[in-house]
A and B are shown apart, each in its own frame.
Chain A
Amino acid sequence: MAGVTRIACLFVPDADPRGQPALLEIALRHSPSVEDGGPGIVYLDLGGLERLWGGEHEIAARLQRAARESGAAARVGIAGSRAAARFAARAGGDVAITIVPPGRDASWLGPAPLALLGLGPEMAARLDRWGVRTLGELADLPSRGLAERLGGEGLRLQRLARGEDAPPLRLWTPPPLFEESADCPWGVEALEPLGDLLAGLAEMLCARLRRHELSADAFEWTCRLAGRAVHEGACAPAAPLADPAAAAALLRASLAARPPAAAVEAVTLRARPVRVGNVQPRLDEPPRPSPRLLTAALARLSALVEASGIGSSVLLDSHRPDAHQMTPFVLVSRDAVIPSSSPALAMRRIRPPLSADVVLHAGAPARVRAAGLAGRIVAGAGPWRVSGEWWTEAPFVQDEWDVELDDGTLCRLARDARGWRLDAVYD
């Protein structure tokens, strides 16, 4: 088959775009020339692969088997062009492998329905009005007249219908793996030298990232401990970075938060690369912390307090009291907004709520005593029932009172099946 181009199309119907890298990796294991055709579609150039993998049917079967092992139900079409191979894969029906013999692309495509072209509704309706229903009928139309009526799009569709697919494959190359390792068979037991080791790896990774004009938005480290146990950790900077000093500070803090339990014999550091465009700040934009300094500050903060307690809060769509979630703090540009004109009364949450002794009078709280707070209630409003999530395993229901004590303290009391609690203080 020397001199004849043969293209295989690996096609997964209704594919999840997240599975595309796995599909590309499968293709790359079989051919060095691979093109990413969009979600669920990968093209391979089969030139010269017979000696390696066998005939076309064997290659197709291998591709299909590898895709199945990765959890994808793939079809394979092989033809002389991308379009014909894709049509063959899509039109296969129950047959998972469809091979169009060399030189037979046009005749094979002729009776195929126009739907294989994936036309928009307008174009499909127009061709249907002309009585064009197969690829062969579209291929036979005079090109000049087609161009006059449908423009460049019409000519493009006709070329596809004829199986003409002249441009070479746009080769896909896997993203570079940003990973560095170091062996220390003598075993590193102290955190400081281990941090130095990670800092060295971070310096090499950051140098490689900068050469590719990339930054890292996450780091993962893996330590192989004495006794073959594995100790892992991850950390993410507030903004993508390629600065070795900031990365080293972040990794040291991450390591200090999750110290290994035994001597480390090997350590591996991986960075997740992202491309960050250089955007010039606007003149009216307020200053923001530099990613390098902020990352270093966050790394040092995580050595002072729990890393899970540093970040931004996001309110949850729930009526449960104090329903929020911590998320990593990220640097994003914000526009100025009109500030709220109505000053709001701040509530200070007591976490966890304090158990309280409450004396009732005529069904309403009259006195309260809790750790750090006691007094007669001079005014109050309630109860307001708060309940929800009864459909989950952790439903909540409680009655709430806002009360004013004789010393002026404004606070929120709550009562549920466990008793009275001091939930919050207004301030």
Chain B
Amino acid sequence: MATSTESLPPPGWDREGLDGLLNAFPEGRLSEIVGPRSSGGGSLLLALLARAASRGGLVALVDGADAFNPETAARAGLDLSALLWVRCGGRLQPAWSAADLLARCPGFAAVALDLGTTWGTGPAAAPPSFGVRLQRAAAGNAAVVVVRAPRHLTGSAAALVISVRRVRARWIGAPRRTRLGGLVSEARVLRSRFDPRLAEPGRAWLIEWRA
């Protein structure tokens, strides 16, 4: 599929592409992807899991909102047999414990905790010092441990915090739209303990997610 000129980033943006952003996720540290629904945060999480699995590793997803869609995950290149999917049925309480447990199990390439966007009980139910505890669990292993939440909730524990916002939706068909073509979103690194240059003001990644 050809990329339209409209979808190309403006000069100075997306210097390293999506790979550059995914490389920023540190192993053995806690990371966080923050953004409201339809911001592209879920797609970024999926890309991270797909890349970790494509290297032959095993990945785990604690699905707090029971919203993971295997079909789009397979389309994103995620080998479903390499994914341990833990469905929490919309209950967040067991999701905290499950993420902590898996982050302590050595051998996974990535462990993700998806807290959904606004459905369910909401991330307001996060236990106190949850971020610190998850960071300690992650510290002993080589896995990328990442939390996807609508708002920042790990405090100062996360070594990397990425904020994602929606830029525009892309529709196919003119003059009458026939289908959704994708979503353009902008990612900014709010904090990076390992490479502070990533969090420089004005630095952003413009990513087009194809539907």
Contact = CB atoms under 8 A, between A and B. Distances in A.
* A and B found bound together: yes
Interface of A: 285-290, 293-294, 297, 300-301, 304-306, 309-315, 322, 324, 326, 329-332, 334-340, 342-351, 371-373, 379-381, 384, 402, 404, 408-411, 424-427
B87 A305 contact: yes
A372 B83 CA distance: 29
Interface in B66-104: 66-77, 79-89, 91, 94, 97-98, 101-102
B177 to A, nearest CB: 4
B38 A409 contact: yes
Contacts of A305: 86-89, 91, 94, 98
Contacts of B76: 340, 343-344, 346
A266 to B, nearest CB: 33
Q: 5 closest pairs, A vs B, by CB? A: A340-B77, A289-B107, A427-B42, A309-B87, A344-B76
Contact of A343 (B47, B68, B107): B47
Interface in B154-175: 166, 169, 171-173
Interface residues of B, number: 77
B65 interface: yes
Nearest to B104: A297
A402 B69 contact: no
Interface string B1-23: 10000000000000000100000
Contacts of A285: 56
Chain B: interface secondary structure? mixed
B67 A300 contact: no
A150 B117 CA distance: 75
A339 B102 contact: no
A381 B43 contact: no
Interface string B183-211: 10000000000000000000000011111
A309 B70 contact: no
B25 interface: no
A315 B70 contact: yes
B72 A402 contact: no
Nearest to B93: A304
Contacts of A379: 169, 171, 177
A344 B109 contact: no
B46 interface: yes
B69 A372 contact: no
A41 to B, nearest CB: 37
Contacts of B106: 287, 289-290, 293
B129 interface: no
B171 A343 contact: no
Given A286-B56, A310-B87, A312-B83, 4 more contacts: A304-B94, A314-B81, A344-B46, A409-B38
Given A304-B94, A410-B183, A427-B42, A315 B71 contact: yes
18 contacts: A288-B57, A288-B58, A293-B107, A310-B86, A312-B84, A324-B71, A326-B85, A334-B81, A336-B54, A343-B18, A344-B210, A347-B72, A349-B67, A371-B119, A410-B169, A426-B180, A427-B43, A427-B117
A300 B99 CA distance: 12
Given A289-B107, A346-B209, A309 B88 contact: yes
A311 B1 CA distance: 34
B37 to A, nearest CB: 6
A339 B54 contact: yes
A372 B101 contact: no
A326 B116 CA distance: 20
A339 B50 contact: yes
Contact of A381 (B77, B108, B166, B171): B171
Interface in B114-129: 116-119
Contacts of A310: 84-87
B117 to A, nearest CB: 6
A322 B58 CA distance: 23
Given A287-B107, A324-B71, A340-B76, A346 B86 contact: no
Contacts of A426: 38, 180, 183, 211
A332 B81 contact: yes
Nearest to A412: B180
Interface string B26-42: 00000000001111111
B87 A306 contact: yes
